[in-house]
Amino acid sequence: MAPFRLYISYTSVVPATDTILTVDGDRLVASLMDLARIGEIDGGGCARLALTDDDKAGRDLVVEWMRDLGLEIVVDVIGNVVGTWRCAPGDPVMTGSHIDTVRTGGKYDGNLGVLAGLEVIRTCQERGITPARPLAVAFFTNEEGARFAPDMMGSLVYVGGMPVEEALGTVGIDGARVGDELARIGYGGSVPCPAAAPHSFVELHIEQGPLLEQRDTTIGAVTGVQGISWQEVTIHGQSNHAGTTPMSLRHDPGYVATALSVFVRDLATRMGGHQVATVGRVEFHPNLVNVVAARATITVDLRNTDERLLREAEAAVADELDRLCRAEGVTAETRTLARFEPVDFDERVVSSIEDIAGGMGLSVMRMPSGAGHDAQMLARVCPTAMIFVPSVKGLSHNPAEHTDASDLVAGANVLLHTMLRLADGSVL
Ligand code: GLV
Ligand code: MN
Ligand code: MN
């Protein structure tokens, strides 16, 4: 690696001063607030579920900003949008994230990574800095997976991890089909996937957990993403009268669903370490006070940084479901919604992020990511890493999600220098 040096600031023809080059923080925060007004919900958050009208309105605004920067804009067959500044020959250094949100999302999850990418290009253009490779900013379709599973769908298709036809045929929680919704909102592009791999990929994101705040640290140099296992479990039993059916004669799917939910929680507590487990969706049919349910559906989200332990957790859940079904006299079927092994990021990019943050006088620590991210898909095809900034009280997927402006801007500045150093060939 070349000797470490941060890019300095230029003002047109005036000779360079010793000021470290920085983005316009007020402008970055203003753009985040503008985007957050689309799909705004009570409590200060956003609801822009993938491929809804609000997602389209958010996409339109970001595409307009890409046009203002003179980027070459490509929309691919799964609706990923990539804006490239062809300032130099070669494969681009890419950044980006997503602008879809969960139904009770915040202003920053995903959006920060996309808008900070645009701010990096705006800053370079304004200061007359021409990176040695093109810079690209992407927003990938349906990262959240809250409406259509799996999560990270757009970036997964982008790198060839899921056939386009399968992704387009995915039916969501509301019965809508990805392909139909893409066409309806005008983002079913013609550029094929898998796409050509970029030179490298770096994603800025809020941490969405408590570690940076607890350790009073501004920047996370993310070493990888933990494995993710999502299953939908549907249990079928005998619907009956809640008052007249003796307990000994019940075949109650509601009971099995709730008992399994408790088991899942206890399992994660028992395993400890990095194991987490969540039952986030519960549906009973017919869902009435005085009716033993005919059917119950729950989702089980298991995550671990260690693939072997994640498999152990999956096996324990399967065994317990089997035991509960036999004891209650009901049947169950499971459907895999998402399954991704843990991912390690590129050590050279991770240590460059550490160096850059340290060189800017920012506190920095290495950490794995608990949440799924588009970067974990890009890591399959090019050197990749991520930059985290703190989430106040560790809250995310919640309208109250917040990151202080100074941290948002610090993260964007680390992104700026990481992209320039990736472009100038001093990292890889
Ligand atoms: C995506 O946000 C996930 O980690 O669930
Ligand atoms: Mn995200
Ligand atoms: Mn999210």
Q: Do 10 and 127 form a contact (C-beta atoms < 8 A)?
A: yes
- For residue 208, the one-letter residue type is Q
The sign of the dihedral angle between the CA atoms of 121, 124, 128, 130 is negative
Question: Residue 340 and residue 64: Cα distance in Å, rounded?
Answer: 34
Give the SS3 label for residue 326: helix
Residues 380-416 have pLDDT tens digits of: 999 999 999 999 999 999 999 999 999 999 999 999 9
Task: Name every residue whose Cβ is closer than 8 Å to that of residue 209 and which is 6 or more positions away in sequence.
Answer: 370, 371, 391, 394, 396
- Which residues in 168-236 belong to E strands, given as ranges? 200-206, 219-225, 227-236
Q: Which atom of ligand 1 is nearest to the CA of 397?
A: 2
CB-count exposure of residue 260 (10 Å: 0-12, 13-18, 19+): buried
Closest CA to 354 of 367, 373, 344, 342: 367
Bridge partners, 285 (sequence order): 295
- Positions of the chain with pLDDT lower than 50, given as ranges: 1-2, 11-16
pLDDT of residue 320: 98
Give the SS3 label for residue 292: strand
102 alpha carbon – ligand 1 mean position (Å)? 9
Q: Which residues surround ligand 2, an ion (CB under 5 A)?
A: 109-110
360 alpha carbon – ligand 2 mean position (Å)? 25
Residues 42-79 have pLDDT tens digits of: 999 999 999 999 999 999 999 999 999 999 999 999 99
CB-count exposure of residue 259 (10 Å: 0-12, 13-18, 19+): middle
Give the SS3 label for residue 422: helix
Among 147, 148, 151, 231, say which to mutate for ligand 1: greatest number of ligand atoms within 8 Å of CB: 151
C-alpha distances out from residue 11 to 24, 27, 88, 126, Å: 14, 18, 21, 9
Angle CA 52–54–55, to nearest 5 = 65
144 alpha carbon – ligand 1 mean position (Å)? 6
Q: Do 392 and 404 form a contact (C-beta atoms < 8 A)?
A: yes
Ligand approaching nearest to the C-alpha of 371: 1
Phi and psi torsions of 278, nearest 5°: -140, 135
93-97/200-206 β-pairing? parallel
232 alpha carbon – ligand 1 mean position (Å)? 16
- For residue 119, the one-letter residue type is E
Pick the residue whose CA is nearest to atom 2 on ligand 1.
144
pLDDT of residue 14: 42
Tokens in use for 167?
């992704």
Place of tokens 């140099």: 221
Question: Residue 258 and residue 314: Cα distance in Å, rounded?
Answer: 17
Tokens in use for 78?
């799964």
Ligand approaching nearest to the C-alpha of 106: 3
Question: Residue 408 and residue 22: Cα distance in Å, rounded?
Answer: 12
Question: Residue 126 and residue 214: Cα distance in Å, rounded?
Answer: 37
pTM of the model: 0.94
Q: Which residues surround ligand 3, an ion (CB under 5 A)?
A: 109
Instruction: Please provide the DSSP assignment of 59-89 as one string.
Output: HHHHHHHHHHTT-EEEEBTT--EEEEE-SSS
Place of tokens 């990292």: 427
pLDDT of residue 12: 41
With residue 406 as reference, give the H or E element that holds it: helix 405-423
Q: Do 339 and 228 form a contact (C-beta atoms < 8 A)?
A: yes
Which residues contact ligand 1 via a Cβ below 6 A?
Answer: 144, 151, 371-372
